[in-house]
Structure 1
């Protein structure tokens, strides 16, 4: 808050430190919990437990994940239990760990929002500086509107809005401008196809994660690989990254996926979908009647080792097979992938 000295334009600082900051007692308690998380092994343990299919993990799994001595594992687990992040239950000779109910949402925020934001900041810092747009964007977009208006049975104003929104949505995260117009055209065509979707179209699936840089891209590539044109598949991110994660690109290439790019989540993509699968992005998807929703607990490949990426792909593959079995009961699927060495290292 500032005041002004009469007769002058000079502002006088009038601090009110307690007006907005959290209380000192709350800050101390919060700092203790954050300090417990501020250790790489403990973060990996928490991520493993949080994304385990059953929502829990055995101490033997966590020991294999961290590859440290049993006393060291026990120490880290005790730290996480002491601050209330984990609960445990002994069954026979093993102890099983779960995220404490009150911390489920907080842990999801750290893993699915805060961590990708940190990685994105690092990527931006390391990336070469460049314009996010193109010099003659208006003229180029106007030409694209005319071209697409001739190709889709959609009102001109809708085409224009879709093209402009697509450009702006992609430009927000673009590091360089070389391919921005090409990506805008691809994204706008996809959205206009969804808007003009006929009633007898094949089933459509939308995969949504935070960055659209890993999980949702892998899931979409697997559906295309197995179902071909019998299922229309889309992917999007609630906070899309600038590019697909480097660790995921080899897995996408192995699936024969086209060059992928990160796309923002749009309402028209949700409306066009018969099934929306969320993967760690919280409650960002609008809930619409007539749309089936599923939430898959899958680790983030951006935080994984190469073996972890392979294991995550295997997990997604198994879920995709179940989904396609429900959508296309007569679809013949090839045998599933072989178990991955080091598959416990998924986070």
Structure 2
């Protein structure tokens, strides 16, 4: 009988592990188990996307043809793992996302869920196909440097390459990377060269994925202000595409201009160029720049919301935008 000798490569050498601890793993597993029900996820999405920041149990009961006790049971499961909090007002009980779990819920609804069900996801054949765009990106940088002679060409080249790298992290289809890089880099270069004293007021809206709330707010400002206020948007962890329901509403607001919108990462130069920075559910991600006004809008999250839910969020944002524009314009 032939026996293959053991070589050094065949042996297993244990190394230090940084795996999650047993206690933390048990806690996370309990939460994920509580979330592993379609109706509970729909309830969570309805509460997160409600423009009021909370939902009444009577609203949640309409999500499925189940009895009121069944609805209450599912909500209790989510409360038991501290995902939801509740408050009784008169006859009804109102539910909202627990403050300490908002970031986790946002990540679940804004990133994980769309990635598993999104019809726009590309096939596995496209995974990892990232052609070498270095020559094209460098050529783009030279072209843009000629348009902004007030900036050093090395600054332009760095900005363009950083823009490409940032967009490539979330890109699913690489064929559009260079055109998107050009649009993103142009915006960043405009921010770098902006004369705050001579320019019209500029507002930056920031959410997590830059795929819903912040895009709607920027579109509404640009449409309502008619060029007298400029609005930008960005995400602390941008998605690869804008939510489908949001995109259709953007088309209603902006027409053909909506086709040019895409999720963009938050950059320091965007914050520095803004007169007003408005965060929308992304926490304290913006650097604090002297002279910049900061505000936070607690509006519903369009992630996995119905078309009607997104329309309600749009209306809430529109009311806030009107007040903001009135405040910024004399």
| Bigger mean CA offset, 194-203 vs 116-125 | 116-125
Q: Which residue of 2 aligns with 1:281?
A: 282
Evaluate the alpha carbon distance shift between residue 112 and residue 296 of structure 1 in structure 2; reply closer, same or farther with a 3 A threshold.
Answer: farther
**Displacement, 1:155?**
1.5
Q: Which residue of 2 aligns with 1:138?
A: 134
Q: Which residue of 2 aligns with 1:339?
A: none
Superimposed CA distance per residue, residues 46-88 of structure 1 (whole angstroms, 9 cap, x where no aligned partner): 3444555554433223224556432222222232333444343
| Bigger mean CA offset, 81-90 vs 215-224 | 81-90
Partner-residue secondary structure (3-state), 2:265:
coil
Q: Which residue of 2 aligns with 1:22?
A: 21
TM-score scaled by length of structure 1 = 0.80
Evaluate the alpha carbon distance shift between residue 48 and residue 205 of structure 1 in structure 2; reply closer, same or farther with a 3 A threshold.
Answer: same
Q: Which residue of 2 aligns with 1:11?
A: 11
Q: Which runs of 5+ in 1 are unaligned?
A: 1-5, 331-347
Match status 1:243 vs 2:241: yes
**Displacement, 1:230?**
0.8
Cα distance in 1 for partners of 2:193, 2:37 equals 50
Among residues 191, 194, 210, which one is paired with 1:194 in the alignment? Answer: 191
What is the total number of aligned residue pairs between the two structures?
A: 318
Cα distance in 1 for partners of 2:66, 2:294 equals 39
Please tell me whether the aligned partners of residues 120 and 241 of structure 1 are also in contact (alpha carbons under 8 angstroms).
no
Cα distance in 1 for partners of 2:228, 2:91 equals 48
- Structure 1 residues 43-62: aligned runs within 5 Å: 43-50=41-48, 52=50, 55-62=53-60
Match status 1:173 vs 2:170: yes
TM-score scaled by length of structure 2 = 0.84
Please tell me whether the aligned partners of residues 236 and 266 of structure 2 are also in contact (alpha carbons under 8 angstroms).
yes
Among residues 201, 205, 222, which one is paired with 2:220 in the alignment? Answer: 222
Q: Which residue of 2 aligns with 1:150?
A: 146
Please tell me whether the aligned partners of residues 132 and 172 of structure 1 are also in contact (alpha carbons under 8 angstroms).
no
Evaluate the alpha carbon distance shift between residue 186 and residue 32 of structure 1 in structure 2; reply closer, same or farther with a 3 A threshold.
Answer: closer
Among residues 91, 103, 111, which one is paired with 1:116 in the alignment? Answer: 111
Q: Which residue of 2 aligns with 1:106?
A: 101
Partner-residue secondary structure (3-state), 2:226:
helix
Cα distance in 1 for partners of 2:214, 2:307 equals 17
Superimposed CA distance per residue, residues 102-150 of structure 1 (whole angstroms, 9 cap, x where no aligned partner): xx23243122356413423555454761676555x33322332222222
**Displacement, 1:209?**
1.9
Superimposed CA distance per residue, residues 239-270 of structure 1 (whole angstroms, 9 cap, x where no aligned partner): 22222222222111111251212211111111
* Greater relative contact order (CA < 8 Å, ≥ 6 in sequence): 2
Partner-residue secondary structure (3-state), 1:281:
coil
Cα distance in 2 for partners of 1:109, 1:29 equals 14
Please tell me whether the aligned partners of residues 128 and 175 of structure 1 are also in contact (alpha carbons under 8 angstroms).
no
